[in-house]
Structure 1
């Protein structure tokens, strides 16, 4: 065999080196004699000791891709490199009694993106610093007694690869044991497999492949394979593409437990869009799998079937006749005519385009000759600043954006639009542009809904943009038919006699970061006599705010605390008001009049007692004026409130309350507060408990309440939902109280999730439902198709 002199490479600029069946003569000081040009190296059937591999990696600091194929010699193989991005290793098997069998395999490459391991048989495999890994492939001969042990070691890399997007592996997932929890709870709740629960190779119960979008699975389609496939899919909630390759089985499948032999297999694939079967033979098992796919209700759009010549007794098996494949009628699916989008009527195409931002709608119109004139007739115009390519300086992006809108409005026909939406980083230079866009939307295009967002996002603002505010001319609305108006970050110029020169069309008004003096609010309400919905967010300028309207049905007030010139009073007098919402409303005095029509009440404050509680109790105190309340959304500061001098009168009750949404924890302090509130809601039927995002610790309870059992008064309560349910001891204690004290309680819904940095992250698994109907025992099931 030829002896390749590696040192010769120092005299050249070789970037890609490939050697097959030769010896490799490395210089003595290779680790210090750097070969900076080598970026890719393929070594096939080359003798390599462990030290040679380490020296090669140190001596080639810019190596990004490496393949070691059928090389002899490694016993304790270490692949440690900061520059390596792609790694492929094919080494072959050793026999158990082989005195030179390979012992350990270590990969420590912080920038590795792709790993491909074929027949990589080591006694132990370890992976470190592989968080950059996005593609992983592992292939072994399908002999369980010979290969499974090494395979299970290799796939443990998945635990260390949170960003994995592409996985190529064979279907040993039923035996593997990582998914025992999923099988025992979801697929077969009455069966517990000893293999699963005792496997030392198991993954943690919380393990998920959240970022996996492509799965290449070498598999058959027997019941054994389908069960394993279902287990794998449970871990991939965001999978979009599934490719199924032929698996040459040297050994027969292991026996399934009787409980699983004929049990229908359910696939969890909420995001799966395409399945490719590269091993379709037309067998009964293949067709059974096809039926499962075609009847699945989800996002699946395409199934690609690639005919395959399998093997039978060592010989190729001919493809089955086309007639043996199931027909659409046999599958219970109505045949769909072969149509394209161009066959759809213009009304449907226009509706599709109206769902897109205008920039995308114009670009989409170019895909077909029939579509090209459609963009000018779309009933919705949405000019989104964030979709335009960013440039330096930012003024170039704004100029491109303004020119685009000008052209769209010039070339558009005078056909009316339903919605005109504009988001823009306003500068006084573009004042005349914005003015013309608004007038065109109102007077020429007769928009029903008009939304102007001149804030977009904090990232777009600097010292230069702070002093540039658009002045919206409210009087222009008298010449149009706008029913819904939304304004963000602008001034509002009201006509002098708005209270007499009415704008009759306005039914919904949303104002965010708009200066509003007390008189302006009064004039707006008088000037819009048909106003039914009003929302004010982060508005400033008012001290004594009065919301008085006989027409108003929904009111939302969202405001932040102010360090000076705090708001003093709020008066709401709306006899037909149905819903009211307070979000961080810092008023010293609040008054609610004529609230007999109010059925929904929401109050939300930052959960900081020292900052928010004094304002919160003023808002909650308004409940005394709401006799017909049916839906209440509030946070759990109720123990402190109901035991204070500011509490309700002793006779106060929420007799008509049916739905309670409570932001609460489940500590003893929280449970005492829940119990106190429930005593006021004897007719409550539904309770929803949401994470409160606490910033302050609970206050101390009196000693007599610390260990005292909590009693809930829930004579009418039928359903409770906990969102999220994280499985803590406090939550378990609360659920136990419910099951023991709920007289007519029928259902408890546990929505699985976790809390990370005070942010709720819901898990992509069906909620668990505890139900009791017609008996005194509680049963469990999974809630399918839940939002």
Structure 2
């Protein structure tokens, strides 16, 4: 019945379905029936891996056959993953690009030897999505023009000091760019070279950057940006401007602020840069921060006030129990917080206590949902944290605790739930205990 239903579909729809499969799987459908014999040749795209071909000659013949059958039609997608150094791959890619491809995805994994992308890639009227991995780009000596490009992902694409300029030209030449991902974009062999990358776009909505090992500063100026992810970066190397539209930020950065025994900052310049960074993202609505970022934020707050995040409604923070005494200070920065998620919670040998006299404004007026993941339930101090929310959250609607420790039994969970329900839990609060070991 299923086969009959598929066979009833028109060829145009079947080829679009096959477009979502690797080409080698699409080719396999040719044995199904006479109708399917050459159907894969009409698929408007190729998704190939070089190790599926015994030699470069076989690969070239295969692509030539495909292009010959599709003569006059536009190829929508071209994806190639290379594990061999085939001399004619660059020529093939350039030919496909010139034929009006919309999605180009090139990933080369051949040790330390890069493929050089021909500069025709800088002037293309049809590309909508561009992904390049280990494909080196040279600085263009002309104006880049990619009028239809909306998605760009670049990973390890430039050597030397010209890398930021190459990326900047790609961004400035893409007037419709909405989604940009930079993953370890630059390889710098000279440690004395200081790089500065400007990401300026009036259309960019999503931006993710992983600095990798290269030491460079990035300036982000994107008034329509809604999502920002910062990984493996240094806070004093990030400059943000015009981020009033920011909805979500994911921060996994190294914050280079050091304190002496009296909590005095060692580098005032970094202090100013960090404050400017926090101020620049203060309009965000959803924030995710790692434990290192959280720890430095809490230390910083003891020296200087943290900018208020008035629009922040959802905060996800990786936590360890020894920092729980800092939780009220954290919540003070978020006066209108509605959802709090404490992730990766674990025990610490360090003793800790919560200041129950400090009740942030969000607990009194806005906090509706609290989630604590990987709750250990090993001693009384953990229960005190839960009690802190139950006793001080005036509008709390739901509290979720997830457990993952192998020593926790179902009887312990039921006993704990009964204890909370009978002594602490308001009738307006829904308590949810989840055993993540069964997932």
TM-score normalised to the size of structure 2? 0.76
Q: Is the 8 A contact 1:636 1:673 kept in 2?
A: no
Per-residue CA deviation, residues 236-278 of structure 1 (Å, 9 max, x unaligned), is xxxxxxxxxxxxxxxxxxxxxxxxxxxxxxxxxxxxxxxxxxx
1:596–1:660: structure 2 CA closer, same or farther, 3 Å change rule?
Answer: same
Q: Is the 8 A contact 1:532 1:551 kept in 2?
A: yes
Q: 1:741 aligns with which of 392, 417, 422?
A: 392
Q: Is the 8 A contact 1:642 1:648 kept in 2?
A: no
* Match status 1:421 vs 2:79: yes
Q: Is the 8 A contact 1:431 1:470 kept in 2?
A: no
Look up the match of 1:551: 203
1 or 2 for the larger relative contact order (CA 8 Å, sep ≥6)?
A: 2
Q: Is the 8 A contact 1:624 1:648 kept in 2?
A: no
- Partners of 2:235 and 2:433 lie apart in 1 by 47
Q: Is the 8 A contact 1:518 1:545 kept in 2?
A: yes
For residue 555 of structure 1, report the CA deviation from its aligned partner.
1.8
For residue 747 of structure 1, report the CA deviation from its aligned partner.
1.8
Look up the match of 1:124: none
Per-residue CA deviation, residues 34-65 of structure 1 (Å, 9 max, x unaligned), is xxxxxxxxxxxxxxxxxxxxxxxxxxxxxxxx
Q: Is the 8 A contact 2:314 2:338 kept in 1?
A: yes
Q: 2:101 aligns with which of 447, 453, 458?
A: 447
* Match status 1:522 vs 2:187: no
- When structure 1 is superposed on structure 2, of 483-492 and 345-354 the one drifting more is 345-354
- Partners of 2:291 and 2:272 lie apart in 1 by 11
For residue 400 of structure 1, report the CA deviation from its aligned partner.
5.3
Is the partner of 2:246 in helix, strand or coil? coil
Mapping 1:344-743, distance limit 5 Å: 344-385=9-50, 388=52, 396=54, 404-427=62-85, 430-432=86-88, 434-444=89-99, 446-455=100-109, 465-466=111-112, 468-476=113-121, 478-498=123-143, 501-515=144-158, 517-540=163-186, 541=188, 543-562=195-214, 566-567=215-216, 569-586=217-234, 588-605=236-253, 622-637=277-292, 638-644=294-300, 649=305, 652-665=307-320, 667=321, 669-691=322-344, 706-710=352-356, 713=360, 714=363, 715-725=365-375, 728-729=378-379, 732-743=383-394
Q: Is the 8 A contact 1:536 1:558 kept in 2?
A: yes
1:422–1:726: structure 2 CA closer, same or farther, 3 Å change rule?
Answer: farther
1:745–1:576: structure 2 CA closer, same or farther, 3 Å change rule?
Answer: same
Is the partner of 1:584 in helix, strand or coil? strand
For residue 379 of structure 1, report the CA deviation from its aligned partner.
3.4
Q: Is the 8 A contact 2:128 2:150 kept in 1?
A: yes
The structure that is helix-richer by fraction is 2
Q: Is the 8 A contact 2:82 2:108 kept in 1?
A: yes
For residue 635 of structure 1, report the CA deviation from its aligned partner.
1.7
Q: Is the 8 A contact 1:639 1:676 kept in 2?
A: no
- Partners of 1:399 and 1:737 lie apart in 2 by 70
Point out where structure 2 has 5 or more consecutive residues left out of the alignment.
189-193, 259-266, 407-416
Mapping 1:117-132, distance limit 5 Å: none
Is the partner of 2:15 in helix, strand or coil? helix
Q: Is the 8 A contact 1:621 1:648 kept in 2?
A: no
Q: Is the 8 A contact 2:182 2:210 kept in 1?
A: yes
- Partners of 1:481 and 1:356 lie apart in 2 by 22
- When structure 1 is superposed on structure 2, of 722-731 and 675-684 the one drifting more is 722-731
Q: Is the 8 A contact 1:377 1:415 kept in 2?
A: no
- Partners of 2:92 and 2:383 lie apart in 1 by 57
Point out where structure 1 has 5 or more consecutive residues left out of the alignment.
1-335, 390-395, 456-460, 756-767
- Partners of 1:655 and 1:743 lie apart in 2 by 19
Per-residue CA deviation, residues 607-656 of structure 1 (Å, 9 max, x unaligned), is 9999xxx9999668512123421111112343543333796536x21111
- Partners of 1:721 and 1:488 lie apart in 2 by 38
Is the partner of 1:585 in helix, strand or coil? strand
- Partners of 1:452 and 1:435 lie apart in 2 by 10
Q: Is the 8 A contact 1:621 1:647 kept in 2?
A: no
- Partners of 1:471 and 1:616 lie apart in 2 by 41
- Partners of 2:130 and 2:136 lie apart in 1 by 14
1:606–1:664: structure 2 CA closer, same or farther, 3 Å change rule?
Answer: farther
- Partners of 1:339 and 1:523 lie apart in 2 by 51
Q: Is the 8 A contact 2:345 2:373 kept in 1?
A: no
- Partners of 1:641 and 1:348 lie apart in 2 by 53
For residue 475 of structure 1, report the CA deviation from its aligned partner.
2.5
